[in-house]
Each structure stands twice: as C-alpha cells, then as structure tokens.
Amino acid sequence: MYDDPDGDRIRQIKEEKKEKAQIMKENGYDQETIRSDIWNRPDAECQGTCQGYLTWEEHNIGLDMCWYCKVEAMD
C-alpha cells in the first residue's frame, strides 16, 4: 500500500463539507439544496470571499474562484 500525500487534505475537505451541510440543515435548508450546494460539487474550494466550493464547470475550466467572487473582485 502506498502513502497518499493528498489523503489528509481530502479528509479535511470532506469534514468541512459535513460541517457546512450540518449548518445548512440547522438553518432550514432542504436536502436538495444541501446536495446541490455541497455534495454535487468537486472538492475544490473557491479562493474568493464566499468560502464555498466551485461548480464542476468552474473547476473544469481551471478557475480558482467562483463566478460570483470573480465578478466581485472586478468591482
């Protein structure tokens, strides 16, 4: 078995996603919204101010910020 250098970071992201999902649940968000905003996104965090996760489209074209943060940064 080999040592995965990214394993710790992946576990950390999964824990952060669990925490965000729990907070959203406590604030009354439904399961579909939590699934689309947290679980159906890649494990790539937005480097902007929203502290969210990139969509697959943003991730696949190589962005490091979501569209909202990118537009906000231009202002």
List the one residue out of 17, 24, 22 whose CA is nearest residue 52.
Answer: 17
Nearest-angstrom CA–CA distance, 70 and 64: 9
Q: What parts of the chain have a pLDDT lower than 50?
A: none
Contact 15, 39 (CB under 8 A): no
Instruction: Note the pLDDT of residue 57.
Output: 92
Instruction: Note the pLDDT of residue 51.
Output: 83
Instruction: Note the pLDDT of residue 8.
Output: 84
DSSP letter at 53? B
Q: How many residues does the chain have?
A: 75
Instruction: Note the pLDDT of residue 24.
Output: 94
